[in-house]
Amino acid sequence: MALLALLTLLLLTAACDAPSPGPRVKPSADGSEDPGRGSSAPSPTDAPDVVGPAPRDLHDVDWAEVPVPGEFCGVPGLVRWNADGEAVATSRTWGKVRLSGGLNVQYGDTDGDGRDEAVVYVGCDDNGATQNTQIQAGYVVFDRLGDDLAAIGSITPQQKSASYLTALVRAEFATGRITVYEKWYRANDAHCCPGGDATTVWTREGNRLTPGDPRVTS
């Protein structure tokens, strides 16, 4: 009986000292386990797209070599240009499209740090399937985040046209905002000549760009 009591005591002691299982590690987006990832990680739409290292002055960037997010045209991921400044990709909205960009760049300071950000004009068409010119256009806004060059968002036309695509004309920069000038088509405008003018103020809060309502000026 003494031996049985001793064995029972040893088993109870071992059970009390056994480690309890910890909380399950949440898998990261790529399927690997990431014990350092918190529950409040930003969504992909909130996070800037890092496209490479950045010089101190964005005026020194060779924009023809910089990939851009294709989301303005419904193309997932980054788009890389060929030697002609074009790329062919599949849009979730329009199917096979041809994108172009990297040539028309404007600069200005929106975060008040004394260094310019850049907006790069981009466009896409239906790759020659019809006689349409562009089916979407945008400005991709780039900033220097630490040592990285990052696309913080895309600006697209906000004033709706009766026909064809509203054009982006130019952008003006001020602390906390980008004012975009648009040309839009009235009902009787020819394809060559949109007759309407509008402006949209995009507010920058951190690395988020939010459009206001377009204001028709003519």
pLDDT value, residue 134: 83
Q: Could you tell me if residue 33 is inside a domain?
A: no
pLDDT in tens, 143-167: 999 999 999 999 999 999 988 899 9
Burial of 175 (0-12, 13-18, 19+ CB in 10 A): exposed
> Torsion over CA of 83, 89, 94 and 100, rounded to 10 degrees?
-20
Q: Could you tell me if residue 12 is inside a domain?
A: no
pLDDT in tens, 55-87: 999 999 999 999 999 999 999 999 999 999 999
Name which of 176, 178, 143, 174 is nearest 158 in CA terms.
178
SS3 15: helix
pLDDT value, residue 163: 84
- Looking at residue 53, the DSSP 8-state letter turns out to be E
- Domain extent, residue 111, equals 45-216
CA angle 173, 174, 177 (to 5 degrees): 85
How many structural domains are present in the chain?
1
Q: Could you tell me if residue 72 is inside a domain?
A: yes
Q: Could you tell me if residue 98 is inside a domain?
A: yes
Q: Which residue has the higher pLDDT, 203 or 20?
A: 203
pLDDT in tens, 170-183: 999 999 999 999 99
Determine the average pLDDT of the residues in 7-31. Answer: 34
Q: How far apart are CA 217 and CA 57, in angstroms?
A: 35
Extract the tokens encoding 74. 């419904």
pLDDT value, residue 38: 30
Q: How far apart are CA 81 and CA 59, in angstroms?
A: 19
Determine the average pLDDT of the residues in 22-37. Answer: 30
> Torsion over CA of 70, 73, 75 and 78, rounded to 10 degrees?
-10
Q: Could you tell me if residue 31 is inside a domain?
A: no
- Looking at residue 21, the DSSP 8-state letter turns out to be P
9-18, 186-195, 204-213 — most confident range: 204-213
Q: Could you tell me if residue 205 is inside a domain?
A: yes
Q: Could you tell me if residue 88 is inside a domain?
A: yes
- Looking at residue 60, the DSSP 8-state letter turns out to be G
Q: Could you tell me if residue 37 is inside a domain?
A: no
pLDDT value, residue 46: 58
